Structure 1
Amino acid sequence: MRGFSAPIVRALAALCVAFAVPAAAQEAEPRWSIAIHGGAGTIARENMTPEQDAAYRAALQQALDAGKAVLAGGGVALDAVEAVITRLEDDEKFNAGRGAVFTWDGTHELDSSIMDGRTREAGAVAGVTGIRHPILLARKVMTDSPHVMLAGDGAEAFAAEQGLELMPPEWFDTEARREALERMKVEKLSALDVDIKFGTVGAVALDSHGDMAAGTSTGGMTGKRWGRIGDAPVIGAGTYADNRSCAISATGWGEYFIRVGVAQEICTRLRLERFIDATLAADRIPTLVSPDHADLPDMPMQRLADGTTQDIADDVMDEVKALGGDGGIILVTPEGHALFSFNTSGMYRGRATSDGVNEVAIYSDE
């Protein structure tokens, strides 16, 4: 085509191909995916009875089903994340809400966070007591306050103003958690010695509208003191969501996840990978920005392979391990991949997609 530069010729050719494809073929079937976790750590088959194994799998499946129902019905990712986590917060098998570990002083201090991948709005709470569902409080911080994180007494006062459900201290108690604290004190052990796993719970979701969300909730580490806060309520460390790259929830030794900035680090690397792939493909890859996302910077969008995403997540978790930290993450991408990465012997986890995937697992060889 004389008179036109090569880039313009390629762009026109791409447009011709696009318009030649029937409209039905251009419109992909709406996809959704979800991944959940209930903690990672030293979880071995020989330490689990068949009854315990079955109970954990059933609890994970029930929580996964709650999230699936939201997404399959056309609901939004934030609601799916909330549906999963509220159920896990009520289940004493997990270290979040009821069943949270005891602090050194014999109380419960709860942390939680949630993030909207469409707008990158976020809410978090740290060191709260008596809140039945910390994840609901975190979402209220995001939607009904000008802040991102509230802590302690102030967060509890805000919860009361919002009418969230409160429970007495004993409602959160379990004998297994109390025994762990007592053994820690008597035998002068660390939290890592008495906790079989890092019990943080979390969920990440991609809805059929193309939006993502992530949420995390935890009771922290057994015997924690001085108002210790881990990664769960820290946006960018334990929780992150960005429609341009991924949604992530983490579980593990929080101090290391904070130092690496695990959740945002993985999402940022995925964005960079997309940018590099799009750049290498020259100008044949258009810049896609939905009107709903007009407030977000333009970014060339390129589909990433499942393997590429897994490699990036594994690389970041290797960094955590190199520093001395343990744990894992769950992740969903705009393509609908639902993935896990962990450097421990097990992680309570599950995932489901609109393509028919539905599974829960515990051990690293599953």
Structure 2
Amino acid sequence: MKLIIHGGFFSESLTNQEVKKAKQEALRDIVTKGYEYLQTHTATETVVYTVSLLEDCDLFNAGTGSQIQSDGKIRLSAALMDGKTQKLSGVINVEDIKNPIQVAEKLMAFPDRVLSGTGGQDFAREHGFEHYNPEISQRRQEYEKKLSDSIRLGTVGCVALDAEGNIAAGTSTGGKGFEMPGRVSDSATTAGNYANQFAGISCTGVGEDIVSASVASTIVTRVTDGFTIEAATKKTLDEMKPYDGFAGVIGIAKNGDVFHADTHPYMVWASHDGNVQVFN
């Protein structure tokens, strides 16, 4: 059994040691809880549980503490993919939801599995998800000061390999902050979140760059075709160099190989296979 999570990219690695340490400690705690949960649950159940913990931690840009868009509103996106069934479900740009990954999980049982905007919100309300304001004061202060030059790419994600050999991946984001309303990131698409029986990938970074390279699905396809997850990831990220693509990747292959990589050295991540590793 293996588990790996990420907390996205963050500029504090070089500028704020207190925030850096807090994020590292949060990831250590969450990956430990997620790995314990994995002992008695499936990969898909574990991904939902672990991403929910990440969404509830206001240090990251997903769920509570998400970035505010240019019109002053918070909109959330999340996706879940079960590698065994190869079904992806998700929500795009929904408002006033605490845990969008849980709405994505609920959608897995429906024929229309990816909903956006008010459609996603209406679905959530109809299925018991109460109104919740994910804003925290820090994000409002950043918005009011228009700190668009301070990139806080804190999308969260999780990939799990369970005892039965099944893989699942989940990704959740509040967007990049100050973006144009209606902008769609990679997180709720197969470019940013993908899994099958051979591998699972969750991405973070600049959504437009990740979509341009179809990063997650391309890596998984290459692993399916015989690449190691390391070789598949490196080749895919290399293909982003012509436009200086900004991306980070976490993944697990069917054989148990766990891999992470980024094009810019600021992704924070943690893994657990009986031993915890936390890095940025």
TM-score (norm 1): 0.73
Matches within 5 A, 1:275-286: none
Structure 1 residue aligned with 2:257, among 332, 337, 348?
337
- The residue aligned with 2:201 is 248
- The residue aligned with 1:66 is 33
- The residue aligned with 1:138 is 104
- The residue aligned with 2:277 is 359
Structure 2 residue aligned with 1:83, among 44, 49, 65?
49
- The residue aligned with 1:161 is 126
Structure 1 segments (4+ residues) deviating >6 Å: none
Deviation at 1:88, TM superposition (A): 1.0
Question: Counterpart of 1:134 in structure 2: which amino acid?
Answer: P
Distance in 2 separating the partners of 1:318 and 1:63: 31
Distance in 2 separating the partners of 1:166 and 1:347: 31
Deviation at 1:85, TM superposition (A): 0.8
Gaps of 5+ in 2: none
Deviations 1:71-95 (A, max 9, x none): 223x100111111111111111100
1:122–1:148 Cα contact (<8 Å) kept: yes
Distance in 2 separating the partners of 1:65 and 1:322: 38
Structure 1 residue aligned with 2:161, among 183, 196, 206?
206
Distance in 2 separating the partners of 1:213 and 1:165: 26
Name the structure where strand makes up a greater proportion of residues: 2
1:63–1:83 Cα contact (<8 Å) kept: no
Deviation at 1:253, TM superposition (A): 0.3
- The residue aligned with 2:181 is 226
- SS of the residue corresponding to residue 103 of structure 1 reads coil
Distance in 1 separating the partners of 2:268 and 2:84: 28
Distance in 2 separating the partners of 1:54 and 1:256: 28
For the aligned residues, what is the CA RMSD? 1.5
Query: Does 2:62 correspond to 1:96?
Result: yes
- The residue aligned with 1:183 is 145
Question: Counterpart of 1:241 in structure 2: which amino acid?
Answer: A
Deviation at 1:165, TM superposition (A): 3.4
Question: What is the number of equivalent residue pairs in this alignment?
Answer: 280
Question: Counterpart of 2:127 in structure 1: which amino acid?
Answer: Q
Using a 3 Å threshold, how does the CA distance of structure 1 residues 211 and 110 change in structure 2: closer, same or farther?
A: same
Distance in 2 separating the partners of 1:213 and 1:115: 6
Deviations 1:33-54 (A, max 9, x none): 0110010254534x122x3233
- The residue aligned with 2:269 is 349
1:66–1:80 Cα contact (<8 Å) kept: no
- The residue aligned with 2:150 is 194
Deviation at 1:224, TM superposition (A): 1.2
- The residue aligned with 2:211 is 258
Gaps of 5+ in 1: 1-31, 275-307
1:41–1:252 Cα contact (<8 Å) kept: no
Name the structure where helix makes up a greater proportion of residues: 1
Deviation at 1:166, TM superposition (A): 2.6
- The residue aligned with 1:35 is 4
